[in-house]
Amino acid sequence: MGRRQCDHISADAVRDLLMLTSFRYTVLPSYVEERKAIKNETEIRGLRNAYLRDGAAYVRWLAWLDEKMQQGYEITEYEAAWRLTEYRRKNKHYMGLAYENISATGPNAALPHYTPHKSTALIIDRDTPYLNDSGGQYRDGTCDTTRTVHFGRPTTEQCEAYTRVLQGHTSSSSVYEGFAPLSWRGMREAVADKSGNKGLRDDATESVRGPVISGHDFSSKIVDQHAVAVAYHITTG
């Protein structure tokens, strides 16, 4: 019994326990996480096929949402999320959602992992950005797609913020180019953090606060696998 309980203690829990002692220790990269970061041919093929199906459903949903918004319909965050799930449900090998739809308009888009509820969901605002972060769970892969769109005429400030975040994501992606999976853990997270937030730091304003760039990865059967971690935060003002 004692051995089984020990096997289920996470590396973070062990580290926290060691911090309470006077022992000197070194935390090494997790071999399990490194191996999980390397996908075999079957997993890669499954992910590609799953994303083709999920992406097609996402585009159909975006076309539906854009048409309704242009026609003057009032669509709530909840209705948009429900409709997207219905498009995904029609896909082959669909097993459910990878996680609850994050469908958020205006100020709700700034809330981490916000989930709309039917009774309290806001109507999608045409004057502020709309965020959708969602994915389908399929037998051959797990999908995770995030898009930010605007159904009106975005302000100069909104365009600038969107561009800066895009620059951050592009910069973060370039950091990993040339790194083999086994060397990811050896790269200091601060490098990716500094690179990802550079554009925002170069033009930081009072409106840019808190976490602005996040990173995670996914597996063929589970989202947020965390084989690669990216630290994120920016302080301004």
Residue numbers of the chain with a pLDDT score lower than 50: 1-8, 179-190, 206-217, 224-237
Domain count, the chain: 1
Instruction: State pLDDT tens for residues 62-72.
Output: 999 999 999 99
Q: Kindly report whether the global pTM for this prediction surpasses the value 0.75.
A: no
Q: Please indicate, yes or no, if residue 113 is contained in any of the structural domains.
A: yes
Q: Which residues lie closer than 8 Å to 91 by C-beta, 6 or more apart?
A: 53, 54, 56, 57, 136, 138
Q: Which residues lie closer than 8 Å to 66 by C-beta, 6 or more apart?
A: 149, 151
Q: Please indicate, yes or no, if residue 168 is contained in any of the structural domains.
A: no
Q: What's the angle, vertex CA 165, arms to CA 72 and CA 180, rounded to 5? A: 125
Q: Please indicate, yes or no, if residue 148 is contained in any of the structural domains.
A: no
Residue at 126: amino acid letter: R
The whole-angstrom separation of Cα 137 and Cα 221 is 8
Q: Please indicate, yes or no, if residue 167 is contained in any of the structural domains.
A: no
Residue 102: Cβ-neighbour burial (10 angstroms; 0-12, 13-18, 19+): buried
Q: Please indicate, yes or no, if residue 161 is contained in any of the structural domains.
A: no
Q: Please indicate, yes or no, if residue 124 is contained in any of the structural domains.
A: yes
Instruction: State pLDDT tens for residues 181-214.
Output: 444 444 444 455 555 555 555 655 544 444 444 4
CA 5 distance to own-chain centroid:
32
pLDDT at residue 175, rounded to an integer: 61
Q: Please indicate, yes or no, if residue 98 is contained in any of the structural domains.
A: yes
* Full residue range of the structural domain in which residue 91 is found: 39-142
